Structure 1
């Protein structure tokens, strides 16, 4: 709407049209309610998951009540370092410079989402939305997630080999290696997955071009990143640091409960158990990894009760304590359109 101003000046009457500022567009009624619903979904999913697994939280908290508080504080510090190392690795997987604060907040929120959806889908979805919000195309953001997912198991394998070389004869690797039948089933699963992918690409020709474009983008970005020392250090350094910090949480909780194992054995038990059971698509690895951790600690000589209590305490620090704050941060990022 234009406003009419009449200037009473000597001479002829003058009419001046001055455009009024356009009002800022407000979100439509459905859009606001959809965004509000999306911001509440993480909290609802976390609440449902907490109700199902409430007994594990209760038992772990009860056992931690008698633990050494200083060792528990060390476990909390290691937990915080896990989010920082994840953010550093994410930065190393993308050529563009990302804002450190929002990136760290997104990884804190991704931790909550990762414990709801299996196989890291929740964390990847949060990171994908964050990267797209920073103006990065879908193809390049997806390539960044693929590189991140590829580097993490390679870094863990390097750590396992380094431990075997550093402590020859002291690590009971033979008792932690899966038997031949398990390895055969794993190999068959990989072959079936590759064959299914090949058949799908053969039958559905429309998938070929997007897949080739994705592979081309991923290879190009990986080559660019590995020509920049800062990105190489962030990518591989963060990928190596993350499992060590996670193992540090487990070792700290074990020390607070009096677990009679050296830290080297606890760290290696975590690396081996998470590498073997982490492939099972459970939310956050909860369930298969927990069982594998208990078995690995018992193999190294820990009593069953202490091994179980240490794993429960590890889950309390890495999952339950940051769960509600992470869900709140996730909802806040959605409401502020960061995601």
Structure 2
């Protein structure tokens, strides 16, 4: 490389590798949005497009016909010449690889807009010079394929072109809209479609092949170092540009100074060498997107103030390096910060001094924590304590990499530093020594508060990526903190705006709206019928429906060996109703039950086994009661109203057999049965055997399960009586159990729709008129489903607040 008449050798390639920049991705998204807007506008204003454009043209079209024709001819000639001018420029510049993308984009644009309902329509461009010249030009100006081809070619060749020429050619292409209006012509909607379609196709080609290697202004960086008193004799590429900067090592002439730098590079360990970091324009867009994402997902206390530009970000890093150097804790000294050409930024600093942390000895562990204590005493947070950013020099630690450092740091940022250093030192020296050194240096309160951030959400991905087995290391570090501080539990710090539980609750609320909508549509008719109801029977139905939740709680309490408080279990059943109703097949209720038992002292396997045991006994008790009440009914009934026909039964059986076959044939599913399901079945079988040896507990579980079924039946019977229906309790119990069993297979959350249809059909089968059956079933659902569901939401939030789940 030749700079100011001197030849400076460069070891390594300065060309950037092909990569998909953030700008390329944003270009595709923006082009797709513009194309969608054009299509939507065309469809909305269909039939009025030309009228609108003619009115606009009448307002601004002031040119005479002769002037309009000349302008039209001149602009048309420029548009026809434009692609050939770009082609000649690429050939003269020997951009041979670009020609393939250039031609591909143009061809794709023409083909894409040539597809019609009857096939591919070939362009009708011709060189019939016998007609008027304006007719020849207009076949290009008004053809969307030509506009699309130009837009695609300009988009593809843009990254290689000089910025001035790129802007001129885009301005020339976009000028076809005002030119049309100026000459009192109409801008065809298809031409606007061609412009946006060509832009999108070109953006997709650029995204597919990657952004080309752009010229890096290294020569200007060398001149800037010369003005700072450093004469560069040779350059070596340490790291090519990518997601990070282009990093170069510059060898400088010893003692060659024109001005005083204010620093002694030799004392800093630089040996007359300087590290150059060149940040390209793509880092600006990536950094902005990252800041926006953090602002959307993390709490305000977790996110630093956004940078207005790439220049401000680089300047911030240099200023933080200077501030930390005044404390004697920076491993390098800032030499130069300067903007370069084409949107590049230079940050030059001395070679980092000291030994990397990976080579540090155990006695250096205390030095690392002492250095962090000094930083925090000055209210400075580092923010990026990866192993590469900590270096040991003598008996002191020196920090490097201040891109995420902050002055006047918040408590959250200081705690994040402590958690990061716990992981970094734990990976090098072990979790136990790292925690012990942190406690000795910072104190128990600070380490306990910071250990709540030892989670994937709180630890930056850039740190977890470079640490081996980061998840296991976080778990081991939390264990050591609990052990060495004699703490029973470490409360996890929420760093995001929305926790996982809040997101789950939002999904459940959306599910609740979904399942409640069909019921809301029936509310007016139901309210009309409700005026004729006997409110005493309705009140009785509400009271007896509570026995359903008490029975379930008692059964689960006995299955958990009475190791949790029964009162809390009863309260949890209302929250359980909300979770079960808003999820298909009630899986949310089962998950909440397991979570509640785990949170109240049972292990994961034991809690799962208790819930599985309760569900198993519930099914057996349900079937037994169904047989018993069917015999007690002593009469036949037409059940065709709510029993599926043979086709549906055969279909369900076929699906079940297919699922069984898949589990037998697919190795992964078979291993899941063996490794996951079989141990749980074994646990349930063991619990059933234990129940057989404990009659008291067995009767308590069966009684609770029976209370669940009979409580629902009593609520339906009271609802039928409220509307004057004449039906026995035995009959209603059969309808409740059969209808509930059939509706449990429904894919809708809470069985909405299926439960109502099954119960109404069951009552009709036993002779209950539809005028009584329909409002009775709706009242029953209000008492046993909707009232508990709407009460379950605040109960669920309250239980979370007092740490019961």
Shorter-normalised TM-score: what interval? 0.7 to 0.9
Gapped runs of 5+ residues in structure 1?
1-19
Q: Is the 8 A contact 1:39 1:332 kept in 2?
A: no
The whole-number CA distance in structure 1 between the counterparts of 2:535 and 2:701 is 33
Q: Is the 8 A contact 2:629 2:733 kept in 1?
A: no
The whole-number CA distance in structure 1 between the counterparts of 2:494 and 2:647 is 57
1:245 to 706, 711, 718: 711
What are the Cα deviations for residues 12-37 of structure 1, in whole angstroms up to 9, with x where unaligned? xxxxxxxx994884763426851772
Matched, 1:37 2:513: no
The whole-number CA distance in structure 1 between the counterparts of 2:735 and 2:801 is 41
Counterpart position of 1:28: 493
TM-score by length of 1: 0.83
Matched, 1:276 2:742: yes
TM-score by length of 2: 0.37
Q: How far off is 1:86 after superposition?
A: 1.1
The whole-number CA distance in structure 1 between the counterparts of 2:638 and 2:651 is 20
The whole-number CA distance in structure 1 between the counterparts of 2:517 and 2:557 is 35
How many residues are paired up? 321
Counterpart position of 1:172: 637
Q: How far off is 1:74 after superposition?
A: 0.7
The whole-number CA distance in structure 2 between the counterparts of 1:212 and 1:296 is 37
The whole-number CA distance in structure 2 between the counterparts of 1:208 and 1:314 is 42
Higher RCO (Cα < 8 Å, 6 or more apart): 1
Q: How far off is 1:185 after superposition?
A: 3.0
Q: Is the 8 A contact 2:632 2:730 kept in 1?
A: no
Q: 1:30 is paired with a residue of what secondary structure?
A: coil
Q: How far off is 1:242 after superposition?
A: 1.3
Q: How far off is 1:260 after superposition?
A: 2.7
Counterpart position of 1:288: 754
Gapped runs of 5+ residues in structure 2?
1-442, 450-490
1:46 to 488, 494, 512: 512
Change (3 A) 1:302 1:155: same
Matched, 1:85 2:543: no
Change (3 A) 1:48 1:184: closer
Change (3 A) 1:39 1:157: closer
Q: Is the 8 A contact 2:552 2:708 kept in 1?
A: yes
Q: Is the 8 A contact 1:117 1:283 kept in 2?
A: yes
Matched, 1:319 2:319: no
The whole-number CA distance in structure 2 between the counterparts of 1:47 and 1:186 is 29
Change (3 A) 1:335 1:200: farther
The whole-number CA distance in structure 1 between the counterparts of 2:646 and 2:494 is 59
Q: Is the 8 A contact 2:548 2:712 kept in 1?
A: yes
Q: Is the 8 A contact 1:39 1:331 kept in 2?
A: no
Change (3 A) 1:60 1:91: farther
Between 1:254-263 and 1:61-70, the stretch displaced more is 61-70
Tell which structure's C-alpha radius of gyration is larger.
2
What are the Cα deviations for residues 186-206 of structure 1, in whole angstroms up to 9, with x where unaligned? 332332232222234566646
1:76 to 502, 519, 542: 542
Q: Is the 8 A contact 2:639 2:762 kept in 1?
A: no
What are the Cα deviations for residues 93-141 of structure 1, in whole angstroms up to 9, with x where unaligned? 2234220111111111101111100111121011011011022222222
Change (3 A) 1:84 1:61: farther
Counterpart position of 1:309: 775
The whole-number CA distance in structure 2 between the counterparts of 1:62 and 1:121 is 35
Within a 5 Å distance, the mapping from 1:186-197 to structure 2 comes to: 186-197=652-663
2:567 to 91, 98, 101: 101
Change (3 A) 1:27 1:161: closer
Counterpart position of 2:732: 266
Within a 5 Å distance, the mapping from 1:97-176 to structure 2 comes to: 97-168=563-634, 170-172=635-637, 175=640
The whole-number CA distance in structure 1 between the counterparts of 2:504 and 2:744 is 29
Q: Is the 8 A contact 1:253 1:313 kept in 2?
A: yes
Counterpart position of 1:6: none
Q: How far off is 1:297 after superposition?
A: 0.9
Within a 5 Å distance, the mapping from 1:216-255 to structure 2 comes to: 216-255=682-721
What are the Cα deviations for residues 262-313 of structure 1, in whole angstroms up to 9, with x where unaligned? 2322222222222233222332222112111111111111111211111111
Change (3 A) 1:36 1:111: closer
The whole-number CA distance in structure 2 between the counterparts of 1:289 and 1:95 is 33
Between 1:198-207 and 1:257-266, the stretch displaced more is 198-207
The whole-number CA distance in structure 2 between the counterparts of 1:279 and 1:51 is 20
The whole-number CA distance in structure 2 between the counterparts of 1:198 and 1:142 is 24
The whole-number CA distance in structure 2 between the counterparts of 1:187 and 1:35 is 37
Counterpart position of 1:63: 529
Q: Is the 8 A contact 1:140 1:218 kept in 2?
A: no
Computed over aligned residues only, the root mean square deviation of the Cα atoms, in angstroms, reads: 2.9
